[in-house]
Structure 1
Amino acid sequence: MAGQVDERFDRQSQRAELLSVLARLPDDQRKELIAEYRARSEAAFAPATIRNYRMIIRLFTQWCAERGLSSEPPIAPTTVAQWVDDMGGRLSSNTIETRLWGIAELHRSNFLPSPTRHRLVELALKSVKRRYGAMTRQAPPLGKAEVLQAISRLGSSRIELRDAAALWIATDTWCRASEIVAFRVKDIERQTDGSSLLCVARSKTDQYYRGAFAFLSESGTAAVLRWVEEAGLCDNDPILTKSQKGGLRTPLDPATLSRIIRRCVGRADVSAHSTRVGGVHDAFRLGCDLSSIMIAGRWSSPEMPARYGRRILASQSAAAAVSKAFEEQ
């Protein structure tokens, strides 16, 4: 333990020493270093991350302007703590932590110590969590049975064939919306039993193209291939694209995918993520173990699938089993 404390202390000391050296650099060298950091960030971060960062800085700058506070780094810890207080009750604790990441990144990009690590900010965040809770809102589940009912109501028009392919991919693969819309025809790998594997080249948790595979059932494969043939798609074309003849063969937006699912199932509360949650619920009901669920959803830790299935797990807990046993006596 002492070695761990010493190592952590050394890292903090080294970081503080580096920042002290950078602070003493001539202005022109410091500006060049900051410009290089920002250029490298553009290449290192996903476009969505960069957009989110810019939104956070824009919102924080606006918040400071309305209160006559400075938003220029270095930002005072008291200012950041006040911002956390103001967000409490309006935003989830996860969203607040993401916004604090933006403030920390702003300071890193200027080679300045981050005020988000100050004890005042840590206490403000703990206070918000204690007062409003830290539970994360979960997308409403959309199970296999409900999706299959929606598919059975679809006809054979171009848009319905496309929608059926979208629903099959969503319910079979348990993929995230960003992964679903990224699939291309060449990503389909046929199996001898009529099912397929879809190559997930990149995902939220795999930014370096290590790759993974998602399952697509025999019926799902047939529906996808019907749409591919109807639309005349080529190997490099996205599977899910516009349904109009002659339309640009560009991937659907994840928000559009969610709208398709809501329209097809007739529910306003679901999204493209709901089939991922629903798949976990179905798996727990069928008695699948957590490790197989993690493999199916390509999770690296059991935290998220366990969180998705906590309602189902509660009804399958030892307390539920004991209650049922005594009710049957």
Structure 2
Amino acid sequence: MKQAFDRDIERTELLSRLSNISSKKRKDLIDEYRRRSEAAFAPETLRNYRLIVRTFTEWCCNNGHNATPPIEPATVAAWVDDMGGKLAANTIETRLWGIAELHRSQFLPSPTRHRLVELALKGVKRRYGSAQRQAPPLGKREVLAVIAKLGDERRDIRDKALLWLATDTWCRASELVAFKVRDLQRQDDGSSLMFVARSKTDQNGEGSYAFLSAKGSQAVVQWIELAGRKADDPILTKSQRGGKVVPMDPATVSRIIKRCVGRPDVSAHSTRVGGVHDAFRLGCDLSSIMVAGRWTSPEMPARYGRRILASQSAAAKVSEAFDKNGGSSMPE
């Protein structure tokens, strides 16, 4: 009878074989892994990975631990304890991914899979909670009010295009700055489809589409024509004349939204959260919301809409029904 595949057993056997190869061959494998990683991972992922390794190394130096792989599970568990209450649980998990990847890159067993580390993470979640911090919502009503107050200066026209793209498409900052002029595909009713070439949930670049309203399309086209952008140029760039035409940094999107809205708490993700809130208020079903935001699972949009869904829950409807009936009995 053929034995079922077991990933853990396969990994253990591989590491056992690697432990018996020559140091030169091992070095060649590590070098090849590094080259392939550069091609396989997104630049942002690689930057995050290097930051995690650097942060961990600094923590080890400051606390008398050895940061050279293979790293002791007890050291990683102590690091998790230290991060508890300072960082969100999902951020700690991301940092553990970095340590695991550091060991994978050297074909070593990862200490993050050790029970000590698992218990440390579970203890942090139990003590401090595992709720993810959610960007405050920025709904379309507030965004349109901001757009209406912007003038006709060059920067204002660029900012209008950015705000329309953000509130209509529900795109992440990394997707917004990646839009090129050729990604704007006009439709007969004046609206447009924005081609999203790559995203957080589409690392292989299969592509998808986001909606841009007729007014949003007009604003974006106005900026493209004013800035003299060509088909392969990025849409969102610096507003100054004569500057180098390069894509805007994703962090700049948040800074512009903060400035335009006049709220320091919002970010580029706020229009994505706000869009979900607006959709739930209008009674849109979860599947259509997933399509609009290009989610592959209902978990995130449902999480974004928790507050709205609570106010639309059965408990809320029962309370409303009794309020309308004077609170004396179940309405007929």
- 1:197 and 2:198 matched: no
Cross-structure match for 2:69:
73
Give me the TM-score of the superposition, normalised by structure 2.
0.96
Matches within 5 A, 1:277-296: 277-296=273-292
**How far did 1:39 drift?**
1.0
Q: Which amino acid aligns with 2:4?
A: E
**How far did 1:15 drift?**
1.3
- Specify which of 126, 137, 147 is matched with residue 130 of structure 1: 126
Q: Which amino acid aligns with 1:136?
A: Q
**How far did 1:293 drift?**
0.3
* Secondary structure of the corresponding residue to residue 214 of structure 1: strand
Provide the C-alpha distance between the structure 2 equivalents of 1:186 and 1:213, rounded to a whole number of angstroms. Answer: 13
Q: Which amino acid aligns with 2:182?
A: K
Matches within 5 A, 1:311-326: 311-326=307-322
- Specify which of 260, 268, 288 is matched with residue 272 of structure 1: 268
Deviation string, structure 1 residues 241-264 (Cα, Å, up to 9, x no partner)? 111111111111111111111111
* Secondary structure of the corresponding residue to residue 70 of structure 1: coil
Cross-structure match for 1:299:
295
* Secondary structure of the corresponding residue to residue 211 of structure 2: strand
- Percent identity reads 70
- 1:161 and 2:157 matched: yes
* Secondary structure of the corresponding residue to residue 194 of structure 1: coil
Q: Which amino acid aligns with 1:13?
A: I
Q: Which amino acid aligns with 1:302?
A: P
Deviation string, structure 1 residues 138-168 (Cα, Å, up to 9, x no partner)? 0000000000000000111110000000000
- Specify which of 85, 94, 105 is matched with residue 90 of structure 2: 94
Provide the C-alpha distance between the structure 2 equivalents of 1:250 and 1:226, rounded to a whole number of angstroms. Answer: 19
* Secondary structure of the corresponding residue to residue 266 of structure 2: coil
* Secondary structure of the corresponding residue to residue 199 of structure 1: strand
Cross-structure match for 1:243:
239
Moved over 4 A (4+): none
* Secondary structure of the corresponding residue to residue 209 of structure 1: coil
Unaligned stretches of 5+ in structure 2?
A: 326-332
Give me the TM-score of the superposition, normalised by structure 1.
0.97
Provide the C-alpha distance between the structure 2 equivalents of 1:261 and 1:58, rounded to a whole number of angstroms. Answer: 31
Provide the C-alpha distance between the structure 2 equivalents of 1:277 and 1:269, rounded to a whole number of angstroms. Answer: 13
Cross-structure match for 1:28:
24
Q: Which amino acid aligns with 2:132?
A: T
- 1:7 and 2:10 matched: no
Provide the C-alpha distance between the structure 1 equivalents of 2:165 and 2:13, rounded to a whole number of angstroms. Answer: 52
- Specify which of 194, 216, 219 is matched with residue 215 of structure 2: 219
- Specify which of 172, 178, 183 is matched with residue 174 of structure 2: 178
- Specify which of 227, 231, 236 is matched with residue 231 of structure 1: 227
Deviation string, structure 1 residues 262-312 (Cα, Å, up to 9, x no partner)? 111111110111000000000000000000000000001000000000000
Q: Which amino acid aligns with 1:225?
A: V
Provide the C-alpha distance between the structure 2 equivalents of 1:12 and 1:183, rounded to a whole number of angstroms. Answer: 41
Residue correspondences, number: 324
* Secondary structure of the corresponding residue to residue 7 of structure 1: coil
* Secondary structure of the corresponding residue to residue 101 of structure 1: helix
Provide the C-alpha distance between the structure 2 equivalents of 1:252 and 1:284, rounded to a whole number of angstroms. Answer: 31
Q: Which amino acid aligns with 1:289?
A: D
Provide the C-alpha distance between the structure 2 equivalents of 1:219 and 1:13, rounded to a whole number of angstroms. Answer: 57
Aligned CA-pair RMSD: 1.0
* Secondary structure of the corresponding residue to residue 215 of structure 1: strand
Deviation string, structure 1 residues 45-98 (Cα, Å, up to 9, x no partner)? 011111111111111111111122111111111111111000000001001000
Provide the C-alpha distance between the structure 1 equivalents of 2:288 and 2:140, rounded to a whole number of angstroms. Answer: 17
* Secondary structure of the corresponding residue to residue 239 of structure 1: coil
Provide the C-alpha distance between the structure 1 equivalents of 2:7 and 2:267, rounded to a whole number of angstroms. Answer: 43
Q: Which amino acid aligns with 2:323?
A: E
**How far did 1:17 drift?**
1.1
**How far did 1:11 drift?**
2.6
**How far did 1:7 drift?**
3.3
Cross-structure match for 1:49:
45
- Specify which of 111, 114, 119 is matched with residue 110 of structure 2: 114
**How far did 1:213 drift?**
0.4
